[in-house]
Amino acid sequence: MNITDVLFYADAALILGSAVLAVSLRHVLHAALALMMALFSTAGLFLLLHAEFAALVQVLVYIGGVVIFIVYTILLTAHLGEEVPRSHPAKQLGALAGALLFCALLLAVLWAGRAWEVPAAHAADAALAQAGGVKGIGRRLLSAAPDGFLVPFEIVSLLLLAALVGAISIARKPAGDPGEGPK
Amino acid sequence: MNLTACLVLAALVFACGVFGMLRNRHIINILISIELMLNAVMINFIAFAHFRAADPTAGSVFVIFIIALTSAEMAVALAVVIALYRQRHPLDVERMKRLHG
Amino acid sequence: MIPTTLTPGALLLSLTWGIPTLTIVALALLPAARTRLIRWVSLGSALLNLALVAGLIAAWPAHRPPLGAEVPLAFAARIPWFDQPHITYFVGVDGISLLMMLLAALIAVCGVLVSWRVEARAKEFFIYMQVLLAGVFGCFISFDLFTFFLFNEVTLIPTYLLIGIFGTGRKEYCAMKLNLMLFAGSALVLVGLLGLYYASGLHTFDLYALAKVRFPADFQHWAFPALFLGFGVLGALFPFHTWSPDGHSSAPTAISMFLAGVHMKLGGYGCLRVAMFLLPEGAREWMNVFLVLATINIIYGAFIAVKQTDLKYINAYSSVSHCGLVLFGYAALNFLGVRGAVLQMFSHGLLTALIFAVIGMIYSRTHTRQIGELGGLMTRLPFIGVAFTLAALAGLGLPGLSGFVAELNVFLGAFARTPVLNKVCTVIAILSIVVTAVYLLRTINKVLHGPAQAKDEGLKDADLAERAAIVILLAGVIVMGVWPRAVTALIDGSIEPIVEQLAR
Amino acid sequence: MADPATSWAIAHSWLTLALPLAAFLVNGLALGRRAPRAAAAVAVLANFAAAVVALLVARDYFAAAHPAPLLAWSFPWLELPHFAGGLMLGIGCWLDPIAVMMLVLITVISTLVHLYAAGYLRGDPGFGRFFALLPFFAFAMTGLVIAPDLVQLYIFWELVGLASYLLIGFWYTKPAAVEASKKAFIITRFADAFFLIGIVLVATALGTVQFAAVNAPAAGAALAASPVVFGGHSCSLLALAAVLLFAGAWGKSAMFPLHVWLPDAMEGPTPVSSIIHSATMVVAGVYLTARLFPLFAAAGSALFLAETLGAFTALFAAVMACVQTDIKRVLAYSTLSQLGFMMFALGVADPAAPAGYTASMFHVFTHAFFKSMLFLCAGILIHAAHTNDLLGMGGLRRKLPVTHAATLIGCLALAGIWPLSGFFSKDAILASAWTAGRPWIFAVGLATSLLTAFYMARFYLLAFHGASRAAGRDAHAHEDLLMALPVALLAVPSAAAGWFAEKYFAQHMLPPGLHTAEHAAHAPWVPWLALGAAVAGILYAAWRYGRGFIPSAPKNPAVRLAWNRFYVDELWQVFAHWLMFTLVAAPAKWFDSVVIDGSLDASAWVMQKLGAAQRAWQNGLVQRYLAAMLVGLLALWLLGGLAK
């Protein structure tokens, strides 16, 4: 067990723990904070796996953008979830059972496919570091070559624009809206 | 640290997401669960890229795409939440039945 | 060789549905409040179409293909559309389709005329009507089964809206019933068409290419009833007729005219053009069944009409009875039977449109269609009364009016077949004219005759538009009755190839 | 004297058809409403011109020593390709002695009746309409008698039916008239349906509908050779076809039990009764039987029917006529009775000894004159007394001298008193029955003669003699010139047509295919016996209804039975109504709305319920969808595991 392993297991525990918290805390704001925690630790995992750029994006965009947005929304809708009652115990149990069964399913699939755990020809860590680096990713993203991602990249940018416009138009206050808050 | 460990971790996180989606009633809780599930997927991508792929860059590229799409999705979803709130709808999914067939 | 480009002739043919389509665009651009303009545009378009069809009929003798031509159509063009599945825009006309188009064009003009007073949502009303027209004309010029089917389906959508929005009585129920049953029929037709497409081995929907194929007997055995029943539903074949009384009775006047007068004929037309033409062996095998069903149609529709009290229902059941005569004529499988059936389609189309128009006029004045509440209208509304009387007389097969010519052909054709079943059914069908006389005279007597009612004081007789509509339809009825050779000269040459095919 | 082949009139005989048609169109479309008097003038003139043409046709046609049938003109109407080798239906003009005779009858009587109606209907709101419809009848009836084939005959057969319907219901605001018109049309239509079946049968079996071909011996033989087997029974196609064709005549000439429409048809205006329901249209059945006489004679079945039905109807109707008090109904029953005479005369004839045939045609001829005249007189009487009831008339002979004289001639002619026309024709019929060896038919005919004389004398006495019972309603009784003139003109042939035409009819009005008649020895006592019966009837009537007659309600049950027309109408009403409405239509409607529509609605209901059951899965709760998805995934996994 080397230091990487130790770091990995510690990080994994952190991810799992905050994930469990994120789904089990009833308070929405708390759950959002737990989610933020989980995403942070995932960014750490990405660093461990030499995907530095992904980690950076994770922190900057995901946490800095999305989760903050979630938090804003929670604050905007003001009631912080109090009015939403707790689920019926049977439903909670069912959800647990479902999740466990699903987890079992995933693990079983993993088990069935364990053949991939043959030792692969490991690329050199340096090469990996370069691959996860900004330069390589940038080249790939904007390359028009057959293995490039130029077209998807452009489409995603379009999609983002569309989402932006859509979000604004949906969330916009309609003219003559009398007020806010649930009835 | 090996591939299997990463995959098991991802599976567990995904299962957490599933649990959260099934259990919670607040719509934002459910969105949070979705984020968790997507996160698990990203872990898988990076792990495969790291341990297996002949083309490690692609893993990161996909993660970037996922994040981009997630932001788009979240933007719209949260806009819907705000719009619902504006129209005095409860944010409780068990009471959101207006679209039933 | 049939051209594969849009020749001038094919362009003219396409204009028959193109004019309604362009009218839809024009109407859509007009402001809804300008109902007067909307009406005039609709009337202009209908008249233009009538002129076009009349021109085509006038040009038919010069352009008709020689006897025995592989594709006996005039102005034909086969323009490729899709390679996979192989679909072409194959248009053309023969005498039968020209006659049907004439019917549609005449009723379209009259339909607009009797709708002159429609004010509420007039724009939508006339737009839907034009959609219906476009679909019907498209059907009659299509000889690719796919486009034929496509246009056929196009007619169903406006039908639903027209009945559902502008109808009377239980309109939602009736619109839904009509559409569901017709869609069910279409589904059967689609199954049959796909069967033809694949079983032919040609992978084509081209009617005349398929006609050259000898389909295997076991294929014909199931495909024929699928197609014939499918189209038969639209032709009000017993026991799938109940959509028609309900649907036609709740539709607004012009739409009743068009549905019973033209739309229903698509069923009879499809039975002949597709089912019988392509699957002659199946036709011979199944004809006894359909003969019996058609006979039931005739006598059963007539007897139920005897018991009805709503004018529209009386006419709708009378339509069931008269449309039975169309299928009955087909069941003879010989020249006169088929000719009688085609004549009956034309005759009944005019007649039923006329009667629905008259009923609509009576209803709009007295606000009732119950014969028990009506009476003595001949005194108040002489023009409408005379039109109603003439229409009823033609309906009961009075010589000199159109119904008799068709009936004579059908009866002679059906009786000429050797099997005893044909003879017995013909006797029953002929006896039904007595029942027809009973319900039509009963209606006429109750509604028109008797002392004039005080509540009908001051009713206005038909106005100019209504008179024009009545005169146009009556002229058709009388011309066909007095001078049937005008009509038979148009269709005879086109019936020959079909009958030859039937004997194959 | 012109040769038929080059005759102008025969070549232009289409005018007899075209002129009334033109009058109908002009009056119906233009004049009728706006200028009724002009319409009347147009109608009278058109009919007069047609009558002139018809008389010229008759002159030229009968100029030949042995008038042979000829096709004067014909134009195609509808061809029937692929039917029996291609058949052409046309509208044409087939002239043979009886057709020409009918042509003359129709056009002449029609002209006179038109003239009469111009007076009779003066001031009626439907005056113009009447003068559109009556020429239409003349047109249709002309087309009927000149028809060279069955289909044309049928076409005009229906058109005269239509004219009859429209004219019976002329006063369409009067419920009784409306009912009567419907009844007449439907009953004749019922018979015509069988007629049409017969035509279709003959056309299919022979491949022709031309009378010349249908009446040819070969046609009869061809039909006789093909038996119809149905359910173990077999009969010859010929017999069947003949009966079916005869059915048309049965209805049109109102033979028992289809006679019920004719008395009711008296609801129409009197001129209509005069021409349509006594002189011409109702004779069409007799005419049809005569037209197809060779075919019917070969079949036997139809002539047997004609004979028995005719004889029965003659007697049956005469009995009813004896007790009726409605002036027009007496005449209507009398018409029925006389139609029976004509019919049974045809029935007893046979191609070798066609005395019955010629006698029947002779009676058609004479009867048309005196019966139409009697109706016209009745119309004058009705106008004078303002009632249809004979018991409300009386003593009118001073006020209506022309009518009185004409009625007297008509009554005596109908009763069969020498030397008036009826004597000759009726005598010929009775003699033919006797010589044909049908003593029972002869006896019935004789008894009918007696009754005929009785009721006609009763008619005459009640209307013109005794004290006036009109209670002052007849104060203004007078004879309009327009009405008296046609009556006076008709009185001439009524009186004289008998001795004038007897020989000619016996020798030339022969069935198709026969050129000379060998008349069997005429039993010399028959005319005396007939005359005796007639005188006896008249004397009894004179004793019963002479001076001092006081009307009273009939008490004798037999009289009441006859007065109620033997309840045949009621039986018909109950039977037809019950059969059509209760037995068939009501269950059919029930079946349609309950079984067929019900099963449709039921299937719709099932679909709806299925949809509602499925709706639980489409409830909009996202978490349920997710759970369902999970369940599906797990199930797939399990299935995959099981498959391994």
Q: Is B96 on the interface with D (CB under 8 A)?
A: yes
pLDDT of residue A80: 45
D130 assigned to some structural domain: yes
Set of chain A residues whose Cβ sits within 8 Å of the Cβ of D630: 98, 101-102
C107 neighbors C123 (Cβ within 8 angstroms): no
Length of chain C: 504
* Beta-carbon contacts below 8 Å between A and D: 12
| Mutant choice from D608, D614, D619, D622 vs B, greatest count of B C-beta within 10 A | D622
- Whether residue D498 is found in the same domain as residue D546: yes
Q: Do chains C and A touch (3 or more CB pairs under 8 A)?
A: no
Q: What would the pLDDT profile of D575-610 be if each residue is shown by its tens digit?
A: 888 888 888 888 988 998 889 888 988 988 998 899
D167: amino acid identity, one letter:
L
Name the token pair of D457: 């004398």
Name the token pair of A95: 């959800």
Chains that contact A by 3+ CB pairs under 8 Å? B, D
Q: What would the pLDDT profile of A5-35 be if each residue is shown by its tens digit?
A: 889 999 999 999 999 999 888 788 888 899 9
Q: At what angle do helices D237-252 and D284-291 cross, to 10 degrees?
A: 160
Residue pointed to by tokens 């021109």: C55
Name the token pair of C76: 């034909």
Q: Do chains C and D touch (3 or more CB pairs under 8 A)?
A: yes
B32: amino acid identity, one letter:
I
| Mutant choice from D624, D630, D638, D639 vs A, greatest count of A C-beta within 10 A | D630
D227 assigned to some structural domain: yes
Set of chain C residues whose Cβ sits within 8 Å of the Cβ of D186: 434, 437-438, 441
C-alpha B6/C-alpha B9 separation (Å) is: 5
D86 neighbors D275 (Cβ within 8 angstroms): no
By C-alpha distance, which of D140, D5, D148 is closest to D88? D148
A44 assigned to some structural domain: yes
Q: Which residue of B has its CA nearest to D612?
A: B101
| Mutant choice from C412, C423, C424, C443 vs D, greatest count of D C-beta within 10 A | C412
Say whether D588 and C415 touch across the interface (CB within 8 A): no
Q: At what angle do helices B3-23 and A3-24 cross, to 10 degrees?
A: 10
C-alpha D393/C-alpha D327 separation (Å) is: 10
CA dihedral in degrees (D260, D266, D271, D272; nearest 10)?
Answer: -40
D365 neighbors D102 (Cβ within 8 angstroms): no
- Whether residue D99 is found in the same domain as residue D228: no
Nearest CA-CA distance, residue D164 and chain C, Å: 13
Total domains, chain B: 1
Burial state string for C373-411 with b = 16 or more CB within 10 A and e = fewer than 16: ebbbbbbbbebbbbbbbbbbbbbbbbbbbbbbbbbbbbb
Say whether A101 and D630 touch across the interface (CB within 8 A): yes
By C-alpha distance, which of A81, A78, A98, A82 is closest to A90? A98
Query: Of D502, D534, D563, at which residue does a domain stop?
Result: D563
Set of chain D residues whose Cβ sits within 8 Å of the Cβ of B29: none
Name the token pair of C103: 């019917």
pLDDT of residue D93: 92
pLDDT of residue C121: 86
Set of chain B residues whose Cβ sits within 8 Å of the Cβ of A141: 61, 64
Q: What would the pLDDT profile of D210-265 be if each residue is shown by its tens digit?
A: 998 888 888 888 888 877 766 666 778 888 899 999 999 999 999 988 999 999 99
B92 assigned to some structural domain: yes
Query: Taking the CA atoms of chain C, what radius of gyration do you get in angstroms?
Result: 21
State the complex-level ipTM.
0.77
pLDDT band at D50 (very low <50, low <70, confident <90, very high): very high
- Whether residue D583 is found in the same domain as residue D547: no
CATH code of A13's domain: 1.20.120.1200
Containing D94, the helix (H) or strand (E) segment is: strand D87-95
Q: Is A123 exposed, middle or buried (0-12, 13-18, 19+ CB in 10 A)?
A: middle
D153 neighbors D144 (Cβ within 8 angstroms): yes
Length of chain D: 644
Total domains, chain D: 3
Q: Domain range for residue A29?
A: 1-86
Q: At what angle do helices D481-508 and D421-435 cross, to 10 degrees?
A: 30
Chains that contact D by 3+ CB pairs under 8 Å? A, B, C
Q: At what angle do helices D622-643 and B3-23 cross, to 10 degrees?
A: 140
pLDDT of residue B100: 47
pLDDT band at D1 (very low <50, low <70, confident <90, very high): very low
DSSP 8-state class, residue D148: S
Set of chain A residues whose Cβ sits within 8 Å of the Cβ of B49: 49, 51, 131
C-alpha D96/C-alpha D17 separation (Å) is: 17
Nearest CA-CA distance, residue D554 and chain C, Å: 33
A180 assigned to some structural domain: no
A4 assigned to some structural domain: yes
Nearest to D621 among B18, B21, B97 (CB): B97
Q: Do chains A and D touch (3 or more CB pairs under 8 A)?
A: yes
| Mutant choice from B14, B19, B22, B89 vs D, greatest count of D C-beta within 10 A | B22
B101 assigned to some structural domain: no
**DSSP class per residue in C427-449:** HHHHHHHHHHHHHHHHHHHHHHS
Q: Domain range for residue D585?
A: 571-643
DSSP 8-state class, residue D236: E
Say whether B55 and A65 touch across the interface (CB within 8 A): no
Q: What would the pLDDT profile of D154-163 be if each residue is shown by its tens digit?
A: 999 999 999 9
Q: What is the mean pLDDT of residues A37-66?
A: 88
- Whether residue D497 is found in the same domain as residue D631: no
Cα separation values, C190 from A8, A45, C180, C218, C241, Å: 62, 58, 15, 18, 20
Higher pLDDT pick, B62 / D620: B62
D393 assigned to some structural domain: yes
- CA neighbours within 13 Å on the CB side: how many for C258? 34
First to last CA, chain A: 58
CATH code of B76's domain: 1.10.287.3510
Containing D71, the helix (H) or strand (E) segment is: strand D70-80
Name the token pair of A110: 């993993």
Chains that contact C by 3+ CB pairs under 8 Å? D
The model's pTM: 0.84
Q: Domain range for residue B64?
A: 3-96
Name the token pair of D289: 């039987």
Nearest CA-CA distance, residue A154 and chain D, Å: 32
Residue pointed to by tokens 């008038």: D67
Q: Would the pLDDT of D479 be above 80? A: yes
Backbone angles phi, psi at D95, to 5 degrees: -105, 125
Nearest to D623 among B93, B100, B101 (CB): B93
The dihedral sign for the CA sequence D583, D584, D590, D595: positive
Q: What is the pLDDT along chain C (504 residues), one digit of tens a residue?
A: 788 888 999 999 999 999 999 999 999 999 988 889 999 999 999 999 999 999 999 999 998 888 878 888 989 999 998 888 889 999 999 999 999 999 999 999 999 999 988 888 889 999 999 999 999 999 999 999 999 999 999 999 999 999 998 988 888 899 999 999 999 999 999 999 999 999 988 888 999 999 888 899 999 999 999 999 999 999 999 889 989 999 988 999 999 999 999 999 999 999 999 999 999 999 999 999 999 999 999 999 999 999 899 999 999 999 999 999 999 999 999 999 999 999 999 999 999 999 999 999 999 999 889 998 888 888 889 999 999 999 999 998 899 999 999 999 999 999 988 888 888 999 999 999 999 999 999 999 999 998 888 888 888 888 899 999 999 999 999 999 999 999 999 999 899 889 988 888
Set of chain D residues whose Cβ sits within 8 Å of the Cβ of A107: none
Q: Would the pLDDT of A77 be above 80? A: no
- The mean predicted confidence, pLDDT, of chain D is 88
A124 assigned to some structural domain: no
C496 neighbors C274 (Cβ within 8 angstroms): no
Helical ranges in chain B per DSSP H: 3-23, 27-51, 56-86
C-beta neighbour count of D629 within 10 angstroms: 10
Q: Which residue of D has its CA nearest to B101?
A: D618
Q: Would the pLDDT of B101 be above 50? A: no
Helical ranges in D27-126 per DSSP H: 32-34, 36-61, 97-120
- Whether residue D333 is found in the same domain as residue D377: yes
Q: What would the pLDDT profile of C101-110 be if each residue is shown by its tens digit?
A: 999 999 999 9
Total domains, chain A: 1
D207 neighbors D191 (Cβ within 8 angstroms): no
D270 neighbors D120 (Cβ within 8 angstroms): yes
Residue pointed to by tokens 């079984």: D595
Query: Of D152, D169, D186, at which residue does a domain stop?
Result: D169
Nearest CA-CA distance, residue A47 and chain B, Å: 10
C-alpha A101/C-alpha C324 separation (Å) is: 63
Q: Would the pLDDT of D2 be above 60? A: no
Distance of CA C399 to the CA centre of its chain: 22
Nearest CA-CA distance, residue D577 and chain B, Å: 53
Which range is least confidently modeled, A70-74, B6-10, C216-220? A70-74
D276 neighbors D227 (Cβ within 8 angstroms): no
Q: Would the pLDDT of D571 be above 80? A: yes
- Whether residue D115 is found in the same domain as residue D205: no
